[in-house]
A and B are shown apart, each in its own frame.
Chain A
Amino acid sequence: MSPVQNHRASFGRQLAEQIRITGRGLRREALALVVVLLVLTAIGLFEAIRAGAGLNADPELLLAALPLALLLPFAIWRAEPAFADAFVWCMPVSRQRVAATKVLAGAFWLLVLVLLVFAWIAALALGSGGSMGETEQRLVGDASTSLARLELRRWSPPLWLWFVPVFSALIIYLLASAALLGLRHPLRILGVVLFGGTMLVAIIFAASPGGAVGQSLMRWQDLAANGSLGYNLAFTAGVSSLSGEWLRPDGQTVSVWRDLPSLRAWATAMVAWFAAAVILLLAAIARHRERTG
């Protein structure tokens, strides 16, 4: 008997189908989001009318999409648990491919979601007579030496800053997908790791406050958060970590920027995190390779 013909759908068709079916499965969540946006619109417009000024949109507002990016994989895979006897594994497609198309379909809907939120922010800002990105004066420099030596610079969010939350959401989505596909019990395992880590750190600091191990942990934590490849830089372009509050001699606090967000610094950190997320995702998908005897 001759081997069977390969009567299977193309990758493009599978991806299109996954986008369709995944989108269909997210209708309830989409409806909930629309309701939330409508409520926020009403609140925003009420505030704009009360203040008599338009609403200014800020790229940081888009960071609100990050928690959604974290939860999205759980919504996508709820009907077909990755480590259970799901219907999707019976299909005439390699397990790795079906996992990849499902993740890509989710990424597609995530980008649609972020674009919709962006459009909503833009519509709210422009509709209320505000602007896209507020121009402001920022104090820039090393505030630890002397506040007098700080430089006053005019700043308005550059175009690329609007793309930061888009990539951040994508990276978080890929990491969450990797956890879901790579770990049999992701919430349980991540919960144990988080709890165990926190407890360990607490014990270390309690046993030896200001000790060498504690200091070392603090340095690592700072590096992970605020280093040149830290998550603050990768996910927010440093918006949250580049500035700090400083006390002036007259007792007032001022916001001082160590440096202004830089496209190059963000792109470097973002690419590193993106690559790490893709590698983790590929490793997770590899767990679902067609089982060979």
Chain B
Amino acid sequence: MAKAIEISALTKRFGHDLALAEVDFTVPEGAVCLLAGTNGAGKTTLLRILINLEQRTTGACEVLGLDPACSGAAVRAQVGFVPETTDWGYGWLRVGEMLAHVASYYPSWDLQYALELSRTLDVGTDRRMKALSKGQRRCVQIVAALAHRPQLLLLDEPTDGLDPLIRDRTLHLFAEHVADTGCTAIVSTHLVPEVAQLADHVAILRSGSMLYQGPIERMLGELHQLELDAPSGWSAPSKLRPAVLRHDRAIGRSPTLLVTGHLDFIQPLITNSGATIRHAGRPDLSDSVVALLQSESKS
């Protein structure tokens, strides 16, 4: 499968601070990748490196077949970018003028589509930019990012500041856009459940290191959520501990384990430790991401 993004051993330092450490990251063409991670994990930095708003310190990076460090402008021409910040300046411009300004940089700008997006997101084109709320400015950014029908979408907290109604519409828009254009998308967000339906790949960053990346199906297929009947004070046997990503204990409730590996290996270990599996199921994406982040925190 062709790769829209291919990063290997990418490191980014800000002075003495290590923002990204030897990151390998691959996104296949047409995939929607959820980029999750802790605060300050390097998600925004990674997105900015992809369009050469930041320079990498070492490593290799290819976006749509180009090295952004050498062809930043050519890469940006094919990317719809929703930045983390909603402050664009240009407060004196009306929204329509702002979008016309953005359009002038993209010969592929689809005016009809821009109008359609504006209507869907309730973007009043006559209003001045400085009069818009954070959420409304975010909507203008989303219109600007989608209307030139880019091959790659980089969305940094795209629903930040949006009300529930517009948030729902925006997520539908993204889904429709991806389905219609077949573009690749990376969505960086802390609100994992929001994009669970949209994403088919996941990448998890913590403290500048890539903990996991790959298809969501594969990740969920490797994880099991086990509800146990266990005696009071039960703890996982030592052989099982490396496979336990999360162990929820609550007074009066049965313990729950989130484990990785084959059940054929896990089940006997649990049984031998005096507990039984009452229910085995798949965790949801959000729980899995949190468990992965927690497991690394412990290690």
Contacts and interface: CB of A to CB of B under 8 A. Distances in A.
Contact of A1 (B2, B61, B104): B2
Would you list the 7 A-B pairs with minimal beta carbon distance, nearest first? A92-B77, A79-B89, A291-B55, A293-B69, A3-B65, A17-B104, A92-B76
Given A13-B104, A90-B81, A4 B91 contact: no
B64 A94 contact: no
Interface of B: 2-4, 29, 51-59, 61, 64-66, 69-70, 72-78, 81, 83, 85, 88-93, 97, 101-102, 104-108, 151
What is the predominant secondary structure among interface residues of chain A facing chain B?
Answer: loop
B53 A1 contact: no
B3 A90 contact: no
A48 to B, nearest CB: 38
A4 B69 contact: no
A27 interface: yes
A78 to B, nearest CB: 8
B106 A9 contact: yes
Does more than half of chain B's interface fall in helix, strand or loop, or is it mixed? loop
Given A3-B66, A21-B101, A92 B73 contact: yes
A90 B51 contact: yes
B72 A1 contact: no
Given A290-B73, A293-B56, A293-B57, 16 more contacts: A1-B29, A3-B74, A4-B75, A4-B78, A8-B74, A8-B107, A14-B105, A21-B90, A21-B93, A24-B92, A25-B92, A85-B85, A91-B105, A93-B105, A290-B69, A293-B69
B51 A87 contact: no
25 contacts: A1-B3, A1-B65, A4-B66, A4-B78, A6-B77, A7-B107, A7-B108, A8-B105, A9-B106, A17-B104, A24-B93, A79-B89, A87-B88, A87-B89, A90-B51, A90-B53, A90-B81, A92-B74, A92-B105, A93-B73, A93-B76, A97-B73, A290-B52, A291-B69, A293-B58
Nearest to B88: A87
B72 A94 contact: yes
Contacts of B102: 91
Contacts of A27: 92
A223 B59 CA distance: 53
A230 to B, nearest CB: 39
Contacts of A21: 90, 93, 101
A2 interface: yes
Contact of A87 (B69, B90, B97): B90
Instruction: Classify chain A: how many residues form its interface, as a range.
Output: 20 to 34
Interface in A61-115: 78-80, 85-87, 89-95, 97
A85 B106 contact: no
A276 to B, nearest CB: 30
A264 interface: no
A76 B52 CA distance: 24
A24 B54 CA distance: 30
A6 B107 CA distance: 10
A145 interface: no
A292 B76 contact: no
A50 interface: no
B174 to A, nearest CB: 19
A8 B73 contact: yes
A245 to B, nearest CB: 48
A85 B156 CA distance: 14
A28 interface: yes
Given A9-B105, A290-B52, A293-B56, A4 B65 contact: yes
